[in-house]
Copies of this chain bind each other. A is one copy, B any other.
Amino acid sequence: MTELFDAVFARGRAAEAVSSRAWLDALLRVEAALAEAAADTGYVSREAADAVVSAAMPENFDLAAVAASAADIGNPVAGVVDRLRELVSEEYQEAVHFTATSQDILDTAMMLVAKDAVAAVMEDLRACEDALLDHLVREEWEHEPRLWGRTLLQHAEPIGLTNLNGRWNFGIRQARMALEGLGFPGALSGPVGVNWSKRMIPEKDLRAHYLRRLGMDPGLYLGHTSRGPVVRIGAAAAEAAGACAKVAVDVILLSQNEIGEVREGRPGGSTSMPHKRNPVAATCARACAARTPGLVATLYAAMPQELQRSPGLWHSEWETLSDLLRLTGSAAAWLRECLEGLQIDAEAMERNLREAEG
């Protein structure tokens, strides 16, 4: 954690999953899998593939140098490939970056990175659901607490606490299920995206071996300029962030001094007012989520990618998807913290009902 706002916006495992280091690792895993698949299918020798696999270790790569290479061709794959060629002996060069184009490697790495980040988000969402279920089982309650149902922030009719918790749980679980339904397709389509080159023998099915090596579903396909799978990940992430924000906003509202029906277990202070009990976790969850709708719009706006590779729209996806997953993961991590420590004040709920009815 070295960046000034990371404690707020890069919380939880998803932030690590989309870090530069994780991206570089993923690029190397993809190049290694490609070499192995080329050996599996007999295009290159097993020794050559092994040489690439040995070379494609993160410790052999300087992240800054790889990053700098992107200035020349517009993406960092060139730096990875150049360094691999340096590391692999002359006789095994054919196994490096075999028939691939930089978009194949980067797209596949992006999907590996996204898959890890989504798994992290789902874990925190599930913890939120568990925390909400826990709050329903309190020994000390003889009866289910009741509280005001509030519509347009005005008293409407009483509801049971299970209605509140249950609705929160429902939104989060639905969002988690949307994430679980996502596909993470790999790409190996070659220079012009047509899955073919003069050197390629279709029956050997290099692509299937490559995807199998990466644990990816060969039935899924990510076209160089067909970006449905990218926007679908972005959409499910933004839905998860929105579902977290809905609960966070409710916690903030119910924590207001005059209402006081819930409070965070570890509220935050203030540099000027030591008495403050701010709902910091809910506040940060909301802040993270508030940044996601704009990012998901960027992904949709990047869909009309021209002909066989877009000059710029493709590039605009990389950090956008990373940021979106990081912020969704941070929202989920903050909400988990908020809900695991949440204190529910059933007496305040009853008091608010009674006073308004009186």
Q: Which residues of A contact B (CB under 8 A)?
A: 1-9, 11, 20, 23-24, 63-64, 66-78, 81, 97, 99-102, 148-160, 163, 167, 170-171, 174-175, 178, 190-194, 221, 223, 225-228, 231-232, 235, 238-239, 241-243, 245-246, 248-250, 252-259, 268-273, 276-280, 282-298, 300-316, 318-320, 323, 352, 356
The reply to whether A246 and B303 contact each other, CB–CB distance below 8 Å, is yes
Q: Give the residue name and chain of the B residue nearest to A172 (CB).
A: B226
Given contacts A228-B243, A249-B304, contact A73 B278 (CB under 8 A): yes
Chain B residues positioned under 8 Å from A175 (CB to CB): 228
User: A269: nearest residue on chain B (CB-CB)?
Assistant: B73
Q: Which 8 A-B pairs have the closest CB atoms?
A: A242-B303, A149-B192, A286-B312, A151-B309, A294-B294, A287-B315, A235-B235, A297-B297
Q: Which of these, B8, B102, B292, contacts A70 with CB under 8 Å?
A: B8
Cβ–Cβ contact A278 & B174, under 8 A: no
Cα–Cα, bound, A252→B269 (Å): 26
Contact of A20 among B3, B11, B154 (CB under 8 A): B3
Indicate whether A69 sits within 8 Å of B7 (C-beta atoms), given known contacts A151-B276, A157-B192, A242-B300. yes
Interchain CB contact (< 8 A) of A315 among B8, B315, B352: B8
Docked Cα-Cα span, A194 to B147, in Å, equals 12
Partner of A305, one of B223, B246, B295: B246
Docked complex Cα distance between A178 and B311 (Å): 27
Min CB gap A100→B, angstroms: 7
Return the chain B residue nearest A267 by Cβ.
Answer: B154
When distances are taken between beta carbons in the complex, the residues of chain B under 8 Å from A67 are 1-7
Work out how many copies of this chain go into the complex: 4
Closest Cβ–Cβ distance, residue A148 to chain B (whole Å): 8
Contacts of A157 in B (CB 8 A): 191-192, 273
| Residues in B whose Cβ lies below 8 Å from that of A284 | 74, 312, 315
Residue ID in chain B nearest A75 by CB atoms: B8
- 10 A-B pairs besides A163-B192, A279-B311 with CB distance below 8 A are A5-B67, A7-B70, A151-B308, A153-B252, A154-B257, A155-B257, A157-B273, A242-B303, A256-B258, A293-B294
From B99, B291, B302, A319 is in contact (CB under 8 Å) with: B291
Interface contact A271-B77, CB-CB below 8 Å:
yes
Contact of A258 among B246, B259, B289 (CB under 8 A): B259
Whether A72 pairs with B287 at a CB distance below 8 angstroms is no
The 18 sampled A-B contact pairs (Cβ below 8 Å) are: A4-B20, A4-B23, A4-B24, A5-B76, A7-B67, A7-B71, A8-B74, A78-B271, A150-B306, A153-B307, A155-B257, A160-B194, A170-B223, A242-B304, A252-B311, A288-B316, A291-B316, A297-B297
In the bound complex, CA of A160 to CA of B193 (Å): 11
Given A97-B271, A178-B232, CB of A298 within 8 Å of CB of B306: no
User: CB within 8 A of A192: which of B8, B156, B243?
Assistant: B156
A73 to B, closest residue via Cβ:
B268
Q: Are B152 and A7 in contact (CB under 8 A)?
A: no
Q: From B74, B245, B307, give the contact of A268 (CB < 8 A).
A: B74
Nearest-CB residue, chain B, relative to A285: B312
Task: Tell me the smallest distance from the CB of A169 to a CB of chain B, in Å.
Answer: 10
